[in-house]
Amino acid sequence: MRFTLIVLLAIACGTRAAEPELLEPDKAFRFAARLSDARSIEVRYQIAPGYYMYRDKFQFTLAPAGARVGAPQLPPGKKHRDEFFGEVETYRGDLTIVLPFELADASVPALQLSAISQGCADIGVCYVPHEQKAELRLASLAGGAARSDAAPGFFSGPGAAADDTLAARVFEGGFWLAIASFFGFGLLLSFTPCVLPMVPILSSVIVGARQPITKTRGFTLAAVYVLGMAVTYAVAGVAAGLSGAMLSVALQTPWVLGAFALVFVALALAMFGLYDLQLPVALQSRLADASSRFHGGHAVGVFVMGVLSALILGPCMAAPLAGALLYIGQSRDVVLGGSALFAMALGMGVPLLAVGASAGALMPKAGPWMETVKRGFGTLLLGMAIYIVSPFLPVAVQMLAWAALLIVTAITLRAIDPLPPGAHGFQKLSKGLGILALLAGLAYLVGALSGGRDVLQPLSGLRVTETGGASTETPFERIGSVTELDERIRAAAGRTVMLDFYADWCVSCKEMERYTFSDKRVRARFRDMVLLQADVTANSAQDAALLRRFRLFGPPGIVFFDRDGREIEGLRVIGYQAADRFLAVLDQALAFRR
Amino acid sequence: MKARAVAVFAAVAALSAAGGAAYHLWSTGRSAGSGTDPAAVVERVLATPLADVAGGTREIGQWRGGVIVINYWATWCAPCREEIPVFVRMQERYGSRGLQFVGIAFDQPDKVAAFASEFRINYPLLIAGLETLEQLRQAGNRAGVLPYTLVIDRKGNLVSREPGGIKEARLESLVKPLL
């Protein structure tokens, strides 16, 4: 029994583990389109962190033939100098493009938009030109709604990517298919940590009942609880259908999510036994009143608990829910919206019904064991709190939070206490899990402190510095401005100075570093010089001033200064030079006397 | 009773795990398609005529019998450009021993031609055609990443596929035993 619970927890926690290293282009560049008015389409791309798109590579086409696309209104991007193309602009994060269009035949029911885009990932790959499509229903134009085949996500939780597109795709079948799919979707959701906090709530409701519990009664109570939950979600569905997409968007603000995270923390602390969570006395007595007046009065309390649970846990479900609500909002189909979410909640409730039907057999009996389960749920709740606010936290803070949670959990699991002789199997298991948690926590701590930037790969920060070791050990001193440069040159009095202009995007700069600067003979000459480097990747005003000073348009460029600090004219190195030629230049610079 | 409870829990957990796995397979496996047998893919890649930068058409199959390194790239793809000098060097070093680089660019011919002359590319550059993307996916590159490099031995066997930039040492260690 204890073991099955652990397995369940492990499954629930494992759902987020398998994130591929490189995203499919549809996930790296999440695409959505809608009609903003009768003359223009709003195209949105959600570009995953670490990925970027090229501003001048978008191509939009519309079908059928009567529709024509005008010039897309592209916001300015971030400018880079490209060695081969000159200036190149790229986008990161959220991108909205307004696409004007003309329609010769007003009776066309729908438009098919095809968008071809090009983008790359920072880890050093690009994608072949990628086509994404959306259907835009003109009939719904009056309401300002449209339909795209990828539900636009206004949220950015790491787990959200798959769920919302799934939810949207589901609707391509008929009504009953949608209902059935949502039921199945709910069943899958029931094994996410979101539903787990409902189990102890339900168990306390059922176990706390006064009469001895029969199976039928247990099942009925669980059903009433699930019904309360389902009605709440159905109301959310109907509200979304009536109000448009606003509901799910409203949920995804830092304040709302932060507030819910606090609720989670409060619930977690209650689980840890810091205080007792109880309904307000007034409400409690009214419920007791009701239960004494009606025969099934207890059911009302259970129903209310179901409603409350759904409200409390709603934001936890926000990512998958938002996609569904958003679609419902756009379709404005109240019946479908309400029924679909009702079915989803029923699906989510199936394991709870199983718990109820077992009438406490599956339920932990009160005792020290119950305390362990409660602490387990408390830990999960804290984890959920971190998870739902993670879109708004810097990665380092997220990692520190995970580290703290994992390490504290490890200690409560007695990871570092010695096992008593003849330890119980469960004690050994718990110590093993504790040590795993401790190691994972330490990994996050090390990762956070060493500048790791990926929650799923906490130690990737270390790997980067390892492979990048070659460039960090180059003996250059970085300078950031003209005044800094002058200072360094003055300080170098009597020695030859070499100034290298560098940028991350500069191919030949990297070649110079890799093949030329690493040459032993070059390194030997370097020892007699002061080596300065200006990293102009950011292209700031300071960088521009530095480049202007030497009449350079950008890297690559290497400038030498003689022992008196004046530039050695005619000895610049522009572009890649192999070690042999570069050595000759270095010798000239070192031998230069005015 | 306890055993039954455990069984119920295990069954529900197994069902949902199976559901999750099925969804995963469904969502990742859709683009797999058929005909991904490596030998058949290489055969198609070698037999497909593609435009070159000079306006003619060529089949990679004409270099059959040598060790062929096919590099999928584009001029707008910065990580692709970074490894081009490596290919140029290795073509120079091992070309006489039967190594043949071929670049296939997802790009406009004029851009490719300009790039080729600026970087002094000493191996043939072809322009990706309609089938190229599908072949690239069948060769195992489902997401369609660039650069992507295939190493094919003298008998026409696919020896290695390398997504992303490839280090000179790695490519050398792959190619040298085949020469």
Q: Give the nearest partner residue to A361 out of B1, B16, B72, using CB atoms.
A: B1
Residues of B in contact with A6 (CB under 8 A): none
Q: Is the ipTM above a cut-off of 0.90?
A: no
Task: Please provide the size of chain A in residues.
Answer: 594
Tell me how crowded residue A315 is: count the other CB atoms within 10 A of its CB: 23
The whole-angstrom separation of Cα A475 and Cα A468 is 14
Q: Give the nearest partner residue to A188 out of B19, B118, B147, using CB atoms.
A: B19
Q: Which helix (H) or strand (E) holds A81?
A: strand A78-82
Provide φ and ψ at A366, rounded to 5°: -60, 150
Return the CA Rg of chain A: 31
Q: Give the nearest partner residue to B144 out of A15, A25, A83, using CB atoms.
A: A25
Q: Which of residues 227-266 of A touch B (CB under 8 A)?
A: none
| Local confidence band at A163 (pLDDT 50, 70, 90 cut-offs) | very low
The most confident of the ranges A296-305, A428-437, A499-508 is A428-437
Tens-digit pLDDT profile for residues B119-138: 889 999 999 887 888 888 88
| CB pair distance less than 8 Å for A126 and B164 | no
The whole-angstrom separation of Cα A26 and Cα A47 is 10
Whether A53 contacts A29, CB under 8 Å: yes
Residues of A in contact with B136 (CB under 8 A): 128
The whole-angstrom separation of Cα A27 and Cα A464 is 24
DSSP state of A515: I
The whole-angstrom separation of Cα A242 and Cα A328 is 9
Q: Which of residues 573-592 of A touch B (CB under 8 A)?
A: 576
Q: A–B: how many Cβ contacts below 8 A?
A: 116
| CB pair distance less than 8 Å for A84 and B81 | yes
The whole-angstrom separation of Cα B118 and Cα B120 is 6
Residues of A in contact with B142 (CB under 8 A): 24
pLDDT of residue B131: 82
The verdict on A54 touching B (C-beta cutoff 8 Å) is: yes
The verdict on A507 touching B (C-beta cutoff 8 Å) is: yes
Select the more confidently predicted residue: A356 or B173: B173
Select the more confidently predicted residue: A511 or A295: A511
Give the Cα-Cα-Cα angle B50, B53, B55 (nearest 5 degrees). Answer: 75
Selected residue of B15, B23, B76 to mutate for chain A interface (largest A Cβ count, 10 A): B76
Chain A residue with Cα closest to B17: A11
Q: Is residue A137 pLDDT above 70, yes or no?
A: yes
Tens-digit pLDDT profile for residues B83-123: 999 999 999 999 999 999 999 999 888 889 988 988 889 99
Selected residue of A22, A117, A128 to mutate for chain B interface (largest B Cβ count, 10 A): A128
Provide φ and ψ at A19, rounded to 5°: -95, 125
Q: Is residue B168 pLDDT above 70, yes or no?
A: yes
Whether B81 contacts B75, CB under 8 Å: yes
The verdict on A118 touching B (C-beta cutoff 8 Å) is: yes
The most confident of the ranges A178-192, A301-315, A575-589, B1-15 is A575-589
| CB pair distance less than 8 Å for B1 and A84 | no
Selected residue of A21, A123, A126, A165 to mutate for chain B interface (largest B Cβ count, 10 A): A126
Task: Please provide the size of chain B in residues.
Answer: 179
Which of A87, A28, A432, A514 shows the shortest CA–CA distance to B82?
A514
Residues of B in contact with A124 (CB under 8 A): 79, 82, 164-165
The whole-angstrom separation of Cα A224 and Cα B135 is 56
| Local confidence band at A2 (pLDDT 50, 70, 90 cut-offs) | very low
Long-range contacts of A177-185 (CB under 8 A, 24+ apart): A178/A336, A178/A340, A179/A339, A179/A340, A179/A343, A180/A343, A182/A324, A182/A340, A182/A341, A182/A343, A182/A344, A182/A347, A183/A343, A183/A344, A183/A346, A183/A347, A184/A347, A184/B19, A185/A320, A185/A344, A185/A347
The whole-angstrom separation of Cα A95 and Cα A360 is 52
Give the predicted TM-score (pTM) of the model: 0.40
| CB pair distance less than 8 Å for A22 and B143 | yes
Quick one: tokens of A251?
Answer: 């949920």
Provide the pairing of β-strand B67-73 with B99-105.
parallel
Quick one: tokens of A495?
Answer: 């020695």
Residue B33 distance to chain A (closest CA, Å): 16
| Local confidence band at A197 (pLDDT 50, 70, 90 cut-offs) | low
Tens-digit pLDDT profile for residues A222-268: 888 888 888 888 887 777 666 554 444 455 567 777 777 787 787 77
Tens-digit pLDDT profile for residues A317-352: 555 565 566 556 555 567 777 888 888 888 888 877
Residues of A in contact with B7 (CB under 8 A): none
The most confident of the ranges A217-221, A547-551, B171-175 is B171-175
Chain B residue with Cα closest to A28: B143
The number of angstroms, rounded, from the C-alpha of A215 to the middle of its chain's C-alpha atoms is 43
| CB pair distance less than 8 Å for A128 and B136 | yes
The whole-angstrom separation of Cα A377 and Cα A297 is 29
Tens-digit pLDDT profile for residues A541-552: 788 788 778 876
pLDDT of residue A11: 37
Whether B107 contacts B5, CB under 8 Å: no
Q: Give the nearest partner residue to B77 out of A4, A7, A126, using CB atoms.
A: A126
Select the more confidently predicted residue: A254 or A171: A254
pLDDT-above-70 percentage for chain B: 80
Which of A158, A587, A178 shows the shortest CA–CA distance to A388?
A158
Helix, strand, coil in percent for chain A, rounding step 5: 55, 15, 30
Could you tell me where the beta strands, DSSP code E, fall in B9-114?
A: 49-52, 57-59, 67-73, 99-105
Selected residue of A13, A21, A84 to mutate for chain B interface (largest B Cβ count, 10 A): A84
pLDDT, average across residues A66-94: 84
Give the Cα-Cα-Cα angle A77, A78, A79 (nearest 5 degrees). Answer: 110
The verdict on A187 touching B (C-beta cutoff 8 Å) is: yes
